[in-house]
Structure 1
């Protein structure tokens, strides 16, 4: 997975109805990625202010600790893990010569996992 240089457009925290709770807290961001380092090569994502906009929704774990809504048996622990999804975007090769479509990884959700100690 490459690291992303991103511009954050808007951040929001998920809100649930009062009778529901989640095990993993997260925040959502709508981003317009500018560049990504993939396989040690910089790729520039096409995102022009007034013409070509490629916006992606990214959901980030707020912490690595799950909520304590339920008790786990002795010998087990839980933690929040970031999950990722691939999105296909139009990019410009590092030499600035050619446009092409490529697949980029983005954080998509946060899940609470349980494992034996």
Structure 2
């Protein structure tokens, strides 16, 4: 089963995403930068990373993590910026995310990227 790492501090987002993708992917939940870093290095086979800009808080603080993952030489998947702010999504793409989408479209983005659409 493919793995998706979700980096977001909103528990309700994790719950909704897990419900939507249940049985089709393994969702790894990170609520902090430290937890995201640990889960990433423990799961080098993760296929998709959904990255919020502000984890936690309301200021973009994951840009360094995006750059670290992108230059790690370990990650071969796709990292998607999922901030609700278009400006923050743009900053995440500039830092190394391969694309972006509003949070409300994240599950559909995973489906398309992993060809899970029936």
Same fold (TM over 0.5): no
| Structure with more relative contact order (C-alpha pairs < 8 Å, separation 6 or more) | 1
Shorter chain as denominator, the TM-score bin is: under 0.3
Rg larger for = 1
TM-score w.r.t. structure 1 length? Answer: 0.24
Structure number having the greater helix percentage: 2
Give TM-score, length-normalised by structure 2.
0.24
Higher normalized strand content (fraction of residues)? 1
